[in-house]
Structure 1
Amino acid sequence: MLAWFSLNVLGIKRRVRFFCQDETRFGLKTVSGRKITAKGVKPIGKVQWQFKATYLYGIVEPQTGASFFYEFSHLNTDCFQIFLNLVAAQFPEDWLIVQLDNGAFHKAKRLQVPDNIVLLFQPPHCPELNPIEQVWQYLKRRFRWHLPKTLEELRQWMTQKLQALSPETIASITGRASILEALSVARI
């Protein structure tokens, strides 16, 4: 519907693409998880309780696996504005429909959405509707029991894991049948 509206009503002649956006926090506090042990043996692992963290902003296209990630120190309107500007610059020839949650900083009055982006807000309290949540789970499963000593070491780990994510992997994680079917009907 949005693709038809953008092409026929607004007269936009750019390629229309559907992306999903979200943010997540990675920190130095240990993320625990399952460990393989003998039957009846309780798993033991080293933990650290440092509360320093960084935020990873991301955008993914479920249809092709195209993505863009950027790290920020905060989760606020200023950082989100910078992120939107970076996304608009990353895909300057396309018109982007971006699905995102109802975070207050996503709806701030001072937020200036770039001309090639339209924000599509999902229903409140429904993170399961946003496929990028599975990308965060994928990364955080690999982060279990990882003990970076500094934020710089954490950033290096994140960079390495993000570079290893191919478009095919992202498409397989985020390409839900319902979304892909809707996009094929919409001819996006």
Structure 2
Amino acid sequence: MLVWVAHSVLSWSGRGKIRFFCGDETRLGLKTLGGRRITTRGIKPIGQVQWQFEATYFYGVVEPQTGESFFYEFTHLNTDCFQVFLNLVSQQFTDDVLIIQFDNGAFHKAKRLQVPHNIILMFQPPHCPESNPIEQVWQYLKRQMRWTLPNNLEQLRQLLKEQLEKLTTEMIASITSRQSILAALSVAGL
């Protein structure tokens, strides 16, 4: 079915591949992310905390089969930024047709959104973020950022850049490759 859509509707020439990606956005800010620390039983972990509410947004897509990914930072979470992100993803994977799973955010379905010719948006059922494997990538990144105290957004961006550079395709594949997704992709011939 997906190959038929790629050939018929998108006039896909067959040069590249049809690929399945999972996409989402996350907000990361200066407010300290707490988490577990080793303490004596019954003792609550203690750590320095800051309550600054400045934040930045990361948009991303990951391919569960291979672990290939693309991330980009934006200042807002809206249709305009999402449009720019889709255009960047389309340019990154020019020869391939990408089926990208997203949640039902209003800006993902905005009427003025112009989806690039090599991208098919697939929407997951409402209220089930656990069905999108990129959520685990965001959790992993946030766990790595626990108890860090960047002084400003620039330091936060630098820390995030370092964490993203540490993520290899093998790591992303191990985080996102669920047996159910891989089985469905093999049945679909992808």
| TM-score grouping bracket, smaller chain normalisation | over 0.9
- Aligned-residue Cα RMSD (Å) equals 1.3
Preserved CA contact (<8 Å) 2:39 2:45: yes
| Aligned equivalents of 2:44, 2:130: Cα separation in 1 | 31
Cα drift, residue 185 of structure 1: 1.2
Aligned residues: 188
What are structure 1's unaligned runs of at least 5 residues?
none
Cα drift, residue 42 of structure 1: 2.4
| Aligned equivalents of 2:73, 2:123: Cα separation in 1 | 22
List, as ranges, runs of 4+ consecutive aligned residues in structure 1 with deviation greater than 6 Å. none
Q: Counterpart of 1:108?
A: 110
Q: Counterpart of 1:152?
A: 154
- Cα deviation 1:156-188 (Å, max 9, x = unaligned): 001000011000000000000000011111111
Q: Counterpart of 1:6?
A: 6
TM-score (norm 2): 0.95
Q: Counterpart of 2:86?
A: 84
Q: Which amino acid aligns with 1:153?
A: Q
- Cα deviation 1:123-149 (Å, max 9, x = unaligned): 111101101000001111111111111
Q: Within the alignment, does 1:29 sit opposite 2:18 as a pair?
A: no
TM-score (norm 1): 0.96
What's the secondary structure of 2:112's corresponding residue?
Answer: coil
Question: What percent of counterpart residues are identical?
Answer: 69
Q: Counterpart of 1:167?
A: 169
User: 1:54-73 alignment to 2 at 5 Å?
Assistant: 54-73=56-75
Q: Counterpart of 2:55?
A: 53
Q: Which amino acid aligns with 2:6?
A: S
Preserved CA contact (<8 Å) 1:4 1:186: no
| Aligned equivalents of 2:106, 2:62: Cα separation in 1 | 21
| Aligned equivalents of 1:73, 1:129: Cα separation in 2 | 26
